[in-house]
């Protein structure tokens, strides 16, 4: 269960009798097999802790109640331009048009993000280098002005030049330093560069963290959606499909996940009147996406 809104709507469905009236708190507790205090804390005091979330999830699974929530923003694509051409990345061969996210599209993303409220930080990267956005300062200030923190993955090429901008933004920014610049030099060189950046920003609003494809003593590369076909229950295990969370591309197109370089899974646009209720959907990349081979991506 990913948000209070989702828990609330699931609870309402579970409590509703066929005639539209609601079960009492005691009846609800007995139905969910939890103490009445747990239900009361959630319904009357808005405390949706793990006990009630687990109970709702278990009941929903047992009774095959589909949990469906409005679309949530997992990440946005500030830009799909890049200043590197990594040979293991599909970005250099991308078939969709290139562009930078406008203030209007970002405003829509922020609105959707806040309404769903399921993530702790707005991720501003997808296929492209976010520091290349020509109005970087204005866009980041727009996010910070909405009271949201930022997570940005960068290849590091422009980090020196753009650091003053990042330091001026009134929110916390986690900068995830990608490994691409250091692949040829090897893992120790990457770790050294990472440490240097971490010491450099120590005590500021910026934190530099390692990339998600870094393990204790090496980095690995995933194959996006070009893996070998795997029979896996993506509707159940894929975070994007299960939670109705996806990627908003620079032009507002909503894609089912951040592995879709060419926008083949686009199902709506954030400016559409019905965008909020649109849903991520399986697409042909799901069978060959390599998420099942990386256990850490499963949940």
Output 128 or 252, the one with its CB closest to ligand SF4. Answer: 128
> How far is 50 from 57, CA to CA, in rounded Å?
10
Output 84 or 189, the one with its CB closest to ligand SF4. Answer: 84
Output 21 or 95, the one with its CB closest to ligand SF4. Answer: 95
How crowded is residue 24: how many other Cβ atoms within 10 Å of its Cβ?
12
> How far is 38 from 169, CA to CA, in rounded Å?
40
CA dihedral 152, 154, 158, 163 (to 10 degrees): 30
Give phi and psi for 215, each to the nearest 5. -105, -170
Q: How far is the CB of 65 from ligand SF4 (least distance, A)?
A: 22
Residues that bind ligand SF4 (CB under 6 A): 82, 84-86, 89, 91-92, 127-129, 155, 178, 180, 225, 234, 238, 240-241, 256-257, 259, 282, 285-286, 289, 291
Residue 149 neighbours by CB under 8 Å, 6+ apart: 120, 121, 122, 171, 172, 173, 174
Q: How far is the CB of 103 from ligand SF4 (least distance, A)?
A: 23
> How far is 228 from 200, CA to CA, in rounded Å?
41
Output 15 or 125, the one with its CB closest to ligand SF4. Answer: 125
Q: Which residues pair with 124 in a beta bridge?
A: none
**Per-state percent for the chain, helix, strand, coil, to nearest 5:** 40, 15, 45
Output 143 or 259, the one with its CB closest to ligand SF4. Answer: 259
Tokens read off for 120: 């702790």
Residue 105, exposed/middle/buried by CB under 10 A (0-12, 13-18, 19+)? buried
Q: How far is the CB of 106 from ligand SF4 (least distance, A)?
A: 20
Q: How far is the CB of 7 from ligand SF4 (least distance, A)?
A: 23
Output 159 or 259, the one with its CB closest to ligand SF4. Answer: 259
Q: How far is the CB of 199 from ligand SF4 (least distance, A)?
A: 24
Output 70 or 129, the one with its CB closest to ligand SF4. Answer: 129
Q: How far is the CB of 71 from ligand SF4 (least distance, A)?
A: 13
**What strand order describes the sheet that includes 149-154?**
206-210, 173-177, 149-154, 121-123, 72-76, 245-248, 253-255, 268-269
Q: How far is the CB of 77 from ligand SF4 (least distance, A)?
A: 10
């Amino acid at each position: 269960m990913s948000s209070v809104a989702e828990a609330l709507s699931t609870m309402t469905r579970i409590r509703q009798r066929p005639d539209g009236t609601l079960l009492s708190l005691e009846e609800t507790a007995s139905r969910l097999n939890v103490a009445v205090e747990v239900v009361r804390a959630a319904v009357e005091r808005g405390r949706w802790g793990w006990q009630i979330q687990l109970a709702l999830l278990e009941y929903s699974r047992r009774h095959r109640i589909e949990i469906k929530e409005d679309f949530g923003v997992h990440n946005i694509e500030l830009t799909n331009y890049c200043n590197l051409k990594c040979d293991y990345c599909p970005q250099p061969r991308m078939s969709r048009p290139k562009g930078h996210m406008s203030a209007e599209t970002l405003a829509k993303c922020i609105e959707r993000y806040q309404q769903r409220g399921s993530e702790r930080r707005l991720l501003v990267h997808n296929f492209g280098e976010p520091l290349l956005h020509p109005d970087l300062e204005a866009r980041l200030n727009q996010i910070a002005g909405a009271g949201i923190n930022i997570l940005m993955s960068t290849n590091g090429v422009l980090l020196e030049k753009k650091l003053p901008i990042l330091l001026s933004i009134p929110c916390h920014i986690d900068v995830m330093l990608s490994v691409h610049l250091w692949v040829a030099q090897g893992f120790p060189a990457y770790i050294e560069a990472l440490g240097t950046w971490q010491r450099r920003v120590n005590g500021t609003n910026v934190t530099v963290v390692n990339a998600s494809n870094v393990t204790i003593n090496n980095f690995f590369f995933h194959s996006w959606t070009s893996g070998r076909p795997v029979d896996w229950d993506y509707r159940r295990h894929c975070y994007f499909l299960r939670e109705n969370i996806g990627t908003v591309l620079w032009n507002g197109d909503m894609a089912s996940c951040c592995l879709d370089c060419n926008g083949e899974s686009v199902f709506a646009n954030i400016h559409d009147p019905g965008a909020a209720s649109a849903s991520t959907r399986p697409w042909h990349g799901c069978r060959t996406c390599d998420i099942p081979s990386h256990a850490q991506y499963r949940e």
